[in-house]
Amino acid sequence: MVRAPVKLVSVFVLLVALAVAATTALPERNGEPTPMVREGVQGWDPGPGAAELAPARRMLAEGDAEAAAASARQLVGDASPELDAAARLVLARSLLAVGEAGEALVVLTALRDGDRSPAIAAAADLLLGRVHAAMGQTAEALAAYRRAAERDPSVEVYAALRRIEVLRDSGQLEAAQDAAEAAAGLPAIRRTHVAVLEALREIQSELDDGNGYLATTHRLLDVATLPHYRAQLAFQAGQFELQIGQREAAIRDLQAAVSAAPDSAHAVAALDALIAQDAADAVEPYQRGLVLYHAGRDQDAIVAFTAALENDPTNHEARYYRGLSRARAGNVPGGVEDLREVARTASDRELAGRALEQAARWLESAGDTAGARAVYQEVLARYGNTGAAASARFRLGFMSYLERDFGAALTIWADGGDARVHFWLGKAREIAGDDAGARAAWEEAARLEPDGYYGLRAADLLGGEPVPSTGQALVGAVIGDAVWRELASWFPERGVDPNAAREALEAEPGLRRAMILLDAGMMQEAGWEIDALAEEHAGDVERLVTLGGVLAERGETTAAAEAVAPLVNVEEGQERSLPPILERLSYPIPYLDLLSEAAERHGADPLLLAALVRQESGFNPQARSSAGALGLAQIMPETGREIARRLGWQDFNPRDLLRPEVSLEFGARYLAERMERYNGYLFAALAAYNAGDSPVNEWLAAPGAEDPDVFAESIPYPETYDYVRRVYVNYQHFLRVYAQPDAGER
């Protein structure tokens, strides 16, 4: 994320500044502040010390607080007041992270007593509040947070949130409630306002203030936008209303939970609560069936959808889902009958085509290849310009391919289609001896989907690598002068003045708040502001690239990736118009040293491990799955115990998996074991990491599974099917960004 020394114009070493500085070395520091002149942008002043402090910030973000403290300490006392202030903030955060709150207090006191800008002073007081709170000094912490709000009112709501936390922790619940009520009236972005109301609701629960708790839950429903969160809130409101005897209100809220997100766990719980109250009829049968279908309760779903069809025989969606439920419950003929009836009677061509294609898929899965082929042909004949037809064309060709009828596959795929069809068309042509035709098909797949699975696999085959392989790729720098040079030319190509892009970004109030919060070490809150900026400017390529560059240059690589994430959709099909820096910003590797060292110890490819961790947890060390997997590498506790035993670790506790160094160590070991078990068969090893060895062993026994592409295409578990592709795509991006040119064989 980002920092805010004296003022925004001078504190941020922005992306475009570094871009035009490509050939200018950083000035040597000799105790005196040295002006940094950037050729090519008149009057540009990037601000002091960003390059010097970025490593310390990266170390801190990656969990190596001791190294971060050592790095930042070297810059404390610099002749530049701005650099000295920024270094003190990083040093104090690092000391706090290693439990040296007393020393952090000394560092910050000197900073607080100096003549600082409002932004620096506010950040220092916010951080002081955290230090005092860690030392159990309640009064001092509250005073520091009050000063922060006074020094820079733009962060008043964040100071209030921390005051509420201190008051709660010290047992002053009534005062905390008053503070939360007041904070709820302060200007704030939506996510921050939700956090305030959540804090208020928790306090009201602790105070047994049922009416207040219920009222605040409904206030949250008024502002919440995420469907699953709304379902959670409505369910909680309904549950509480049942407890206090407000049955009618409870039924309304439970109904709302069901409709907010039918595929959520809270919708299922709400429906079960209604059933327990003999109020299932409060939910329309179709809606009831949808919730049960998503919960995997197929027999109950069939009953509900049947009731919906009795009420309205033209409810084609109800018939469609009843067909899927029947087939999934084992009644494939009955399911196919329903799906074919939808195709026969529905006026919505997309729904009708989808229903018929699903009927064919179920016939295929049941082993009725002749029946499936006939239905796929019917989809092509009746719904030729729909997504269902594209899927049917591929499945028809793939069935022929698996039967080794490559001539039929070539005929079916001859007219081309999406990247998937072109990829497999190339494989069929290669088998038929048409090498030129194969290359042409793969080139088209790579053109259609340059950063997607089939495009990347096509590039592999074009490069002479039919079997995806891994190796000990060397890790290179993420961001360097070459990238900035590319960006310096990229902005003018877009018709944008780099200085104008910088000034527009600096004018954002949300950026100022994010800078202060980052300097105070309030990373979650800063993330809310950055997410809000990225969401607000989701269609503004230049703004997002600039924001991402600011964050990455500062050392906040994960935040930079989140900032530029919207560009993936904005520029779909136009990837070539974006600068290479976008890929570099989009694919950071937090915990780089820990990850590389763990991979080396266990003989795993570090970039493959990074690709896996990105998919498993998004590099969130506190990630917890609904199944119970923990940490960066999402290791199940029982698997963790087995790995600990094999490593000879004593006194292993599943909570250890939330520590980055432990999760990466165990993830590297488990990945290396899967690669060894499957003799370097990448797709099989990845599938086993996700689904376990037993199902993978069964899949490998299927005809054609020795071909990695056939294996990957035939994985029957939807989650594992997607997982293998996503990790592979991540891996290819990491190779492009991080692998050194002389890394040798992959």
What confidence category does residue 59 fall into, taking pLDDT thresholds of 50, 70 and 90?
Answer: confident
Q: Given this model, what pLDDT does residue 12 score?
A: 29
- Phi/psi for 739 (5° steps) reads -70, 130
CA dihedral 123, 125, 129, 130 (to 10 degrees): 30
* 27, pLDDT greater than 60: no
Q: Given this model, what pLDDT does residue 151 score?
A: 94
Residue type, 353: G
Q: If we measure between CA atoms, which residue out of 731, 691, 682, 732 comes closest to residue 715?
A: 691
pLDDT in tens, 546-569: 888 778 778 777 778 888 877 754
Q: What is the mean pLDDT of residues 456-481?
A: 73
| 127/104 Cα distance (integer angstroms) | 9
pLDDT in tens, 97-140: 999 999 999 999 888 766 678 999 999 999 999 999 999 999 99
The catalytically annotated residue of 616, 665, 673, 713 is 616
Q: Given this model, what pLDDT does residue 494 score?
A: 81
* 18, pLDDT greater than 50: no
* 32, pLDDT greater than 80: no
Q: What is the mean pLDDT of residues 410-419?
A: 93
- Worst-scoring range by mean pLDDT, 63-67, 203-207, 316-320, 628-632? 63-67
- Worst-scoring range by mean pLDDT, 82-91, 237-246, 490-499, 628-637? 490-499
Give catalytic status of residue 542 as yes or no.
Answer: no
- Which residues make beta-bridge pairs with 630? 624, 635
pLDDT in tens, 221-260: 999 999 999 999 999 999 999 999 999 999 999 999 999 9
pLDDT in tens, 710-734: 999 999 999 999 999 999 999 999 9
Q: If we measure between CA atoms, which residue out of 85, 101, 81 comes closest to residue 93?
A: 101
What confidence category does residue 1 fall into, taking pLDDT thresholds of 50, 70 and 90?
Answer: very low
Residue 447's Cβ-count burial label (10 Å; 0-12, 13-18, 19+) is middle
What confidence category does residue 55 fall into, taking pLDDT thresholds of 50, 70 and 90?
Answer: confident
pLDDT in tens, 480-539: 444 455 666 777 888 888 778 878 888 899 999 999 999 999 999 999 999 999 999 988
- Report which of residues 306 and 483 the model is more confident about: 306
738-742 long-range Cβ contacts below 8 angstroms, 24+ apart? 738/473, 738/475, 738/476, 738/478, 738/589, 738/607, 739/473, 739/474, 739/475, 739/476, 739/607, 740/473, 740/474, 740/475, 740/476, 742/474
- DSSP secondary structure of 224-292: ---HHHHHHHHHHHHHHHHHTT-HHHHHHHHHHHHHH-TTSHHHHHHHHHHHHTT-GGGS-HHHHHHHH
pLDDT above 90 covers a percentage of the chain that reads 71
Instruction: Kindly report the pTM of this predicted structure.
Output: 0.83
Q: What is the mean pLDDT of the chain?
A: 87
- Which residues make beta-bridge pairs with 635? 630
* 31, pLDDT greater than 90: no
* 385, pLDDT greater than 70: yes
pLDDT in tens, 338-358: 999 999 999 999 999 999 999
Q: Given this model, what pLDDT does residue 78 score?
A: 85
Q: How many residues does the chain have?
A: 746
Query: If DSSP codes are grouped into helix, strand and coil, which group holds residue 624?
Result: strand
Q: Please name each of the domains of the chain with its CATH number.
A: 50-260 (1.25.40.10), 284-403 (1.25.40.10), 480-586 (no CATH), 592-738 (1.10.530.10)
Q: What is the mean pLDDT of residues 281-296?
A: 97
pLDDT in tens, 590-626: 888 899 999 999 999 999 999 999 999 999 899 999 8
- Phi/psi for 500 (5° steps) reads -65, -40
* Tokens 């910003």 found at: 585
* 220, pLDDT greater than 80: yes
